[in-house]
Each structure stands twice: as structure tokens, then as C-alpha cells.
Amino acid sequence: MENLLQLIVTGIMLGSIYALVALGWVLIYKCSGVLNLAMGELTMIGGYVCLSIYTLLAARMSVTPAFLVALGGSLVVGVLLGLMTERLFLRKMIGEPILSVIMVTVGLSFFFKGIVFIIWNPDTVQFAPRVFDVQNIHIAGLAIERVQLWSFFASIVLMVIFVSFFKYTRWGLAMQACADDEMAALSLGVSAKFVYALAWAIAFMSAGVGGTLLGNINGLNLSISGFGLLVLPVVVFGGLNSIPGAIVGGITIGLLQNLCGGYLDIYFPGGIKEIAPFVFMVFFLLFKPFGLWGWERIERV
């Protein structure tokens, strides 16, 4: 029972990082109806930018202020990169078929990976000195890593911010209008260019936070780009356009991975944790094609 509770708690903490990256994915889809297949590379870039700034500052100030400044700097860089990406690569795709835009994001994923390979060391690098204390927090006999606990709180805070943004702000409503019917939104005076630029900027920020937390757990390398694909079952389960669904989906997939790793690895050695979310996604789509809270499109003919 103690082992089961430990797997559940660790799975929830891991799922919160999935949820952070999924929030950026959902945001892009809510405003444009596009699956952003470059999300893993955005996560990787955010982590590397934060690491670079932190390395420069750690020699001049204490760890916590250096990390907070580095995280803030990575968010600013994320906004600039998001605006630049939308302006250079995606603005001309407004009004084009969705499949064409998705293929552009595939090209962007390889482009971003190449940029990271050129600028940074492809080998695994660590935050040094460590940002979070290696000593776990013990609650009721359960051990929780500090970085995972912080990621859990960060995902909850971001969910509240994003839900409030889409529900109570003008541009949040404009994003949803563009996703539902782009031509109708344009006819009502909504600036699709600004909406898409804002969405990509926020997505870069959300993914960057996730990449920074991942880097503090296992270090940073090019394999983190594959993390974006692992988040796909998260957004499919919760609903491609549901922000609360991203949180629930992240925690669910995190639990699924940990439990499969804890109980099935002895029977199916060789990476059952990585396969289980996709098997679950396939079976789930058979019964709920739109996810738990996704918009169901009804077409009358």
C-alpha cells in the first residue's frame, strides 16, 4: 500500500509538468484549431534559455534570485520568439487549410531542434549549482521531490490564469472565436494576426516553464523534444481545447505512466511507461473522440 501511494503521489507530480506543456498546446488549438507539433522543441528551447541565463547569474548572486531572474528572462525571450515565429512563419498561413499549417509546425520542430544543436551542447547538461534541494519533502511517510511539488503548484496557478483570461478578457474571447470560425471572427473585426501572435507568445512561455522544471529533474538534452509528443495523449484525453482538461489529462497520464512502470515493467521490460499513454489514447478515442471536455462539432447537411 505504501508503494502504491508513493507511485500515485509521484505520478501526480509528474503529471503536473505534462499539464504545463499541454496548456501551451491547448492554447494554440483554442485560437487556431491547429495541432502544434513543435511543442516539444518549444519546451526544450525554454529550458536551455533559462539554463544559459542562470549559468551567467549564478556566479554573481545566490541561487534562488538567480533562478527567478533566469526564469523571468526565459519568459521574456519566449514572448519574443513566439512573436517572431508567428510573424515569419505563420502569418502568411492565415486562412489556409489546417493541414498546411500543421505541416508548417512539423518543419518548425526540425528547425528549432537544429538551432538548439548549433547553439548549445547536445550532451546532457545540469543546472549547477542545483536550484532545488535534493532532499525530498516527507509527508505522511511519502517522499516528494521539491521540483515536482513546485511544478504542481505552477500548473494550478497557470490554469487559473488561463481560464480567467479566456473567460473574462476581450482577447481571450477573440481567440476562441478565431478557433471556432476564423472567417466569421475576421468579419467581426477580430485581428487574427494579433490573436495568433499572442497565442504563440503565451505558448512559448508555458512550454518554457515546463522545460525549466524538466531540466531541474533530469537535466537538459535534445531528447526533451520528444516530450512534446508524449503530451499528445494528455491533450487528447482532456480535450484539445479545454484548459481544465489539460490539467486533468496531465495528472491522469502521469498516474498511468507511474503505475505501469511500477507494476508492469517486471512483465514487459523495455519502456512500458512510454508506450502505455499512447495505447490508452487509442482506446479512449474509440469511445470519446473529442476528449472529456472537447468541443463536439455538429455539422448539418
Question: Total structural domains in the chain?
Answer: 1
**Which CATH number goes with the domain that contains 256?**
1.10.3470
Query: According to the model, what pLDDT value does residue 300 have?
Result: 54
Query: According to the model, what pLDDT value does residue 295 have?
Result: 61
CB contact at 8 A, 66 and 201: no
What would the mean pLDDT of 216-240 be, rounded to a whole number? 83
Q: How far apart are the first and last CA of the chain?
A: 55
Q: With CA atoms as reference, report the closest residue to 236 among 228, 227, 226, 246.
A: 246
Q: What would the pLDDT profile of 272-288 be if each residue is shown by its tens digit?
A: 888 888 888 888 888 88
Where is pLDDT greater, at 41 or 184? 41
- Whether 105 is in a domain gets the answer yes
Of 11-15, 55-59, 144-148, minimum mean pLDDT range? 144-148
Collapsing DSSP to helix, strand or coil, 38 comes out as: coil
Q: What would the pLDDT profile of 120-153 be if each residue is shown by its tens digit?
A: 877 888 888 888 777 778 777 777 777 778 777 8
Q: Range of 207's domain?
A: 2-287
DSSP string, 239-295: -TT-HHHHHHHHHHHHHHHHHHHHHTTTTSTTTHHHHHHHHHHHHHHHH-TTTTTPP
Q: What would the pLDDT profile of 77-136 be if each residue is shown by its tens digit?
A: 888 988 888 888 888 877 778 788 888 888 988 898 888 888 887 788 888 888 877 777
- Whether 258 is in a domain gets the answer yes
Give the integer Cα–Cα distance in Å for 128 and 125.
9
- Whether 111 is in a domain gets the answer yes
- Whether 187 is in a domain gets the answer yes
Provide the grid cell at 150. 513546485
| pLDDT beyond 80 at 11 | yes
| pLDDT beyond 80 at 30 | no
Give the integer Cα–Cα distance in Å for 162 and 99.
26
- Whether 292 is in a domain gets the answer no
- Whether 52 is in a domain gets the answer yes
What would the mean pLDDT of 54-75 be, rounded to a whole number? 88
Ramachandran area for residue 203 (φ above 0: left; ψ -120 to 50: alpha; else beta): alpha
Amino acid type, 102:
I
Provide the grid cell at 301. 447537411
What's the mean pLDDT when you consider all of the chain?
Answer: 82
Query: According to the model, what pLDDT value does residue 142 have?
Result: 75
- Whether 6 is in a domain gets the answer yes
Give the integer Cα–Cα distance in Å for 121 and 288.
42
Ramachandran area for residue 33 (φ above 0: left; ψ -120 to 50: alpha; else beta): left
What would the mean pLDDT of 205-234 be, rounded to a whole number? 82
What would the mean pLDDT of 215-237 be, rounded to a whole number? 82
Q: Please state, for a pLDDT cut of 70, what percent of the chain lies above it.
A: 94
- Whether 261 is in a domain gets the answer yes
